[in-house]
Amino acid sequence: MSTSGDQATANNTNPNNSYEITPPATDSISSLSFSPRADILVATSWDCQVRCWEITRSDGSIASEPKVSMSHDNPVLCSAWKDDGTTVFTGGCDKQAKMWPLLSAAQPFTVAMHDAPICEIAWIPGMNLLVTGSWDKTLKYWDARQATPAHTQQLPDKCYALTVKESLMVVGTGDRNLLVFDLKKPQMEFKRIESSLKDQTRCLAAFPDQKGFLVGSIGGSVGVHHIDDAQVSKNYTFKCHRVGNTICSVNSLNFHPIHGTFISTGSDGTFSFWDKDSKTRLKAMSRCDQPITYSTFNHDGALFAYAVMHLFLSFVTMQTPEKHYNYATETPFEFVDNVGYDWSKGAENHKPDTAKTSIYLHLPEEADVKPKSTYKVGRFTVKKEQI
């Protein structure tokens, strides 16, 4: 897959002229989730807050209005919407998941508990269940009406990434294993695959047709996996999110809900549009001056939200789990990530008071997200099916 032509814009916090949502969070954004039914965006943050905005679009312009917020006792790491767009679920370092009935204006309440931080969360519409993944090496399914999990699935290592698409669920663990589940039989592991990437798994995204998934690593690479053994020959990997000899993490992978192309974001501060079938990059956007920590599309793919942590220092390229400090509770905790402060510069240079977190909204052009019918291959123009 082509990765040439990276654009860099030095010391520019918004080089793509994206719309900035206000007010910002006071620490790094850990997740972004759009309602599946409306342009309502929820963001979770290391400042222990969950914030909600209503987004409006008109004639190519964007506006946002902050609506409500709620908090956890410790940093919040993940979020997911119920499929009817009425409720948000969040999980974090307080080892619990909360259910927040946004549309009814009811107060959030705890619906899930683990023995370690909850780093991944997803709603399973076909089962009407919530699934949570934790560093306690378990995956748990929850009926929000019950105090105990419907099922607990033991994992070989800590859960680091999770993706759900209809009946397909894939879980990435700390040992580079990728566990595939058929949610028609959720209590049984369907297949276990060793990641084709040599570095730790950072993010996952299921194919829209549920025939495979993408995996991104902290080593600046993406793997394309097909589940059917007969399709293994179509698997491949490619390098991305690198600046010179500096390797940066792939932090998010998102499929466009209409066209089936995907976008990747990374700690190099860039986001790029890709066509996995033709193994081609459709568009590379200009580089922000700091890491893009998370991203997501809205329900129709007309809006792309991404979060940038402006620390006015170099981007992070952590390769191993680190002990970080929770400024909200004044206690250390483990968090495997590579966004935010570059700890190699020393704790004395970490100045959270001068850092700025931004959430941007980008309006993708159709040419950037729609697969092309023909592509340039060397001196020749060929049809997509010939590639």
- Residue 13 is predicted with a pLDDT of 81
Q: Say if CB 334 and CB 321 are below 8 A apart.
A: yes
Output DSSP code: residue 232: G
- Residue 325 is predicted with a pLDDT of 33
Residue whose entry in the numeric block shows the structure tokens 């997803």: 122
Chain-centroid distance, C-alpha 81: 14
CA pair distance 343, 369, nearest whole angstrom: 36
Q: Say if CB 50 and CB 72 are below 8 A apart.
A: yes
Tokens, residue 363: 């309006």
Per-residue pLDDT of the chain (387 residues; tens, 9 = 90+): 644 334 344 447 899 999 999 998 989 999 999 999 999 999 999 999 999 999 999 988 999 999 999 999 999 999 999 999 999 999 999 999 999 999 888 899 999 999 999 999 999 999 999 999 999 999 999 999 999 999 999 999 999 999 999 999 999 999 999 999 999 999 999 999 999 999 999 999 999 999 999 999 999 999 999 999 999 999 999 999 999 999 999 999 999 999 999 999 999 999 999 999 999 999 999 999 889 999 999 999 999 999 998 654 333 333 333 334 333 333 333 333 333 443 333 455 455 666 689 999 999 999 999 998 765 655 444 455 545
Give the list of residues 6+ apart from residue 308 with CB closer than 8 angstroms, or none.
13, 269, 288, 290, 291, 292, 293, 357, 358, 360
Burial class (CB in 10 A: 0-12, 13-18, 19+), 146: exposed
- Residue 104 is predicted with a pLDDT of 87
Q: Which has the closest alpha carbon to 77: 24, 121, 140, 137?
A: 121
- Residue 373 is predicted with a pLDDT of 76
Global pTM? 0.86
Domains annotated for the chain, with CATH where assigned, are 19-386 (2.130.10.10)
Q: Which has the closest alpha carbon to 112: 154, 141, 75, 80?
A: 141
- Residue 319 is predicted with a pLDDT of 35
Output DSSP code: residue 143: -
